[in-house]
Amino acid sequence: MKNFFIKLTFTLLLAGSYAAYAQLPENILKASGSPANPKVPMAWNRYYDYTAITDVCKKLAAAYPNLVKVESMGKSFTGKEMWVMTITDFKTGDASRKPAMYIDGNIHSNEIQGSEFALYTAWYLAESFADTKFIRELLADKTFYIAPTINPDARDNFIHNPNTASSPRSGLIPIDNDRDGATNEDGFDDLDGDGNIVSMRRKNPNGRYRADPKDPRRMIVVGPDEKGEYELLGSEGIDNDGDGFVNEDGEGAYDPNRDWAWNWQPNYIQNGAYKYPFSLPENRGIADFVMKHPNIAAGQSYHNNGGMILRGPGAEEDLNTYNAQDVQVYDALGKMGEDLIPGYRYLVVYKDLYSVFGGELDWFYGGRGIYTFSNELWTSFSLFNKPGADNSPDASYFFDRYLLFKDAFVDWKPYKHPQYGDIEIGGFKKNYGRMHPGFLLESDAHRNMAFTLYHAFHTPKLSVDEISEKNLGGGLREITAVIANSRLMPTHSSQDLKYRIEVPDIVSLSGAKVVAGMVVTNRDMGITAEQKVDPANLSVANIPGNGTVTVRWIVQGSGAVTVSVDSKKGGQAVRKG
C-alpha cells in the first residue's frame, strides 16, 4: 500500500516532465532490469561532451536529492570543473563513513565511453533505487563516488575537433614533444576539412600495399613475391615546422595515466610522464579527493579498448607489491567479471598488456591500498560474439558495411598534398574501432556496471556478531565480542598492512569500566594479546574478508555494555550486549 502511494506521488510529480513525450508511463512495460520511467530520460546510444555530462550530473542531483550529490574535485587545466557524484542513500547512515567505491572514466581523452559507462552507473543507481531491493540495500551500505570524465579538456577536444580514434589521449597542457623549443607546432591537419583525421595513401608501383578484393576500402600488405599499388603515409597532416617530420608535435602528448604517485618515473624511463606525481591538475584534484575520503575501499577506472579487466602491478618492478592474499581477492572479483562481461578477460597489466609506471590503478592500490581495476571497454568479440581471433581479418569492414551501413568510414578521395603530391585520404572515423557502435553501448555499459556493483558489494561489511559474558568473581566480568566481516575484501589490503597506510580498526567497549583489553588470537586455547594502553579501544590491524576477529575485555562492576567497531575502509557497526 505504502509503495503504491510512493509510486503514485512519483507519477504525479513527473507528469509534467513527461507531457512532452508520447510514451506516458502507463504506455510502457518495464523491460527487466532497466529503469522504465526515469526521471532523467537518457539515450545510451550516443556520446556526451563536457557540457552534456555536466547537465546530466546536475539533473540527477536535482531529481534525487536524497541519493545524488554533485561537487567538483578541482579544475582542469583549462578551468573546467572535475565533477564527482556522491551516490548513496543519504537517509541511511553517514555517506563518508560507508565503505565506498570510486569510479572514473576518460583519463585518456580519446577513450571516451568510460564517461558514458560511469554516467550510466550513476543514472542506473538513482533510477533503480525505488524499484530494486538490491540497489536499495547496496546504497544503504555503500557509497559510490562517480567522476564521469577526469580529462574534460581533451574530451571536448576529441569530440569537437578533427581527431583520430587515438588522439589526443593526452590532456591539453602544451608540450614540446620534439624538443626544438616550440610547443604543439606540428599536429594533425584536417587537409580536406571534413572534420575527420584519417589516413593518407599514395599510388606507388613499388608500394607494399594493395586494396583488399573483398572490401577495396581496406589496405592489405602484399606478399613478399607480389607487387603492390599503394604506400601508406600515416595520419592526415603536413610537416608544419619544416623539420622533415609529419605530425610529431601535436596537442599535449603527455599521458595522464603516467602521472600517479606509485613508483612514478620520469619521461625518459616512462614515456608520457609529466613533471612529477600529480603534476597534472586533474589528477591532483582526484588525489586530494581520495585522500579526503579514506572510506574508498574499491576503485574502477574505465579505459578503452580490448575487453580487459586489468589489475596491477603495472610494472614488473612492482611485482612484490601484490602478495598472495590480495591476489586472491583480485582473482575472485576478476573471474566474476569474466563471467558477467562476455569477451572480457581478467589480466595483469605488466605481463599481459605492457609495463607502465605511474598508472592510476597502481597508486590506488600501491599508494592507498584500494582494490582497483581498470576495464578496457569494447572488444572485437562484440562484433559477432566470437573471439577476435575467430573473426575474419576484414571483420571490422564487414561490420561497418552490413551493420552500420558504412557510417563509420570516410571513403578514399584524392588530395594534392604540399609535400607528398597526389595522395588519397580516407579511413575509419575516430568513433569507430575503439568506441562502441551506438546499438552496443548500453548493453556493455550495463554489464560493466554490474561488475562494478559486484566489486562494491564486496567491500567490507562489518557487524558485531556476538557479545558474551563470563563472571570472573570479585566484581570482574569478562566480555568477549566477535567482529565479523561478511564480504570478500578485508578492511586492510596486505599492501595497506605492509605500509600501515590506513590506521587500524578500533573495537570499543562502553558501558562499563574496562580494566584490561585484549585481542583473542585463539579463543579455544585462551591465547590473547593484551593492549596495555587505552584497553577500552582495542586496535585491530585488520578484519579479514569473510572472517572474524575476537576481542575480550575484563570489566569492573555491572551494567550493560555496548561494543562498536570503527574502520576507515570497513565502516562502522555497533551492538548492545
Minimum CB distance to other proteins, residue 354 (Å): 13
Minimum CB distance to other proteins, residue 241 (Å): 6
> In this complex, which beta carbon is closest to other proteins, that of residue 221 or of residue 291?
291
In sequence order, what are the residues at sequence separation of 6 or more whose Cβ sits closer than 8 angstroms to the Cβ of residue 223? none
> In this complex, which beta carbon is closest to other proteins, that of residue 34 or of residue 78?
78
Give the Cβ contact number of residue 98 at 10 Å: 24
CA Rg value for the chain: 28
- Cβ atoms of 452 and 371 within 8 Å: the answer is no
What is the helix, strand, coil percentage profile of the chain, to 5? 30, 30, 45
Angle between helix 438-457 and 133-141 (nearest 10): 50
Minimum CB distance to other proteins, residue 245 (Å): 10
Minimum CB distance to other proteins, residue 75 (Å): 16
Minimum CB distance to other proteins, residue 564 (Å): 16
Half-sphere exposure of 146 (CA within 13 A, CB side): 35
Cell for 63? 531529481
19: which DSSP letter? Answer: T
- Which candidate, 145, 171, 185, 166, places its Cα nearest to that of 79? 171
> In this complex, which beta carbon is closest to other proteins, that of residue 186 or of residue 424?
186
From CA 427, how far away is CA 425, in angstroms rounded? 7
In sequence order, what are the residues at sequence separation of 6 or more whose Cβ sits closer than 8 angstroms to the Cβ of residue 190? 162, 196, 197, 236
> In this complex, which beta carbon is closest to other proteins, that of residue 34 or of residue 537?
537
Minimum CB distance to other proteins, residue 178 (Å): 7
Interacting residues toward other proteins by CB under 8 A = 175-181, 241-244, 261-262, 264-269, 275-279, 287, 291, 317, 363, 367, 499-501, 503-504, 532-533
> In this complex, which beta carbon is closest to other proteins, that of residue 148 or of residue 571?
571
Q: What is the DSSP string of 114-128?
A: HHHHHHHHHHHHHHH
Minimum CB distance to other proteins, residue 543 (Å): 16
Give the Cβ contact number of residue 324 at 10 Å: 7
- Cβ atoms of 333 and 367 within 8 Å: the answer is no
Minimum CB distance to other proteins, residue 70 (Å): 26
Query: Given strand 527-530, what is the order of strands in its sheet?
Result: 462-473, 476-485, 547-556, 513-522, 527-530
Minimum CB distance to other proteins, residue 506 (Å): 8
Minimum CB distance to other proteins, residue 531 (Å): 11
- Cβ atoms of 432 and 420 within 8 Å: the answer is no
> In this complex, which beta carbon is closest to other proteins, that of residue 6 or of residue 269?
269
Give the Cβ contact number of residue 517 at 10 Å: 25
Does a cis peptide bond (omega within 30 degrees of 0) precede residue 247? no
Between vectors from CA 452 to CA 446 and to CA 458, what angle results, nearest 5°?
140
> In this complex, which beta carbon is closest to other proteins, that of residue 79 or of residue 244?
244
127 catalytic? Reply is: no
> In this complex, which beta carbon is closest to other proteins, that of residue 254 or of residue 373?
254
Cell for 519? 585481542
- Cβ atoms of 308 and 376 within 8 Å: the answer is yes
Between vectors from CA 420 to CA 419 and to CA 423, what angle results, nearest 5°?
140
In sequence order, what are the residues at sequence separation of 6 or more whose Cβ sits closer than 8 angstroms to the Cβ of residue 103? 118, 121, 144, 145, 146, 147, 299, 300, 301, 302, 452
Minimum CB distance to other proteins, residue 317 (Å): 7
> In this complex, which beta carbon is closest to other proteins, that of residue 358 or of residue 437?
358
> In this complex, which beta carbon is closest to other proteins, that of residue 231 or of residue 249?
249
Catalytic pick among 248, 376, 424, 442: 376
> In this complex, which beta carbon is closest to other proteins, that of residue 265 or of residue 548?
265
SS3 label, residue 351: helix
Question: How far is C-alpha 101 from the geometric centre of its chain's CA atoms?
Answer: 10
From CA 130, how far away is CA 123, in angstroms rounded? 13
From CA 112, how far away is CA 573, in angstroms rounded? 39
Question: How far is C-alpha 338 from the geometric centre of its chain's CA atoms?
Answer: 16
Q: Which residues are identified as catalytic?
A: 376
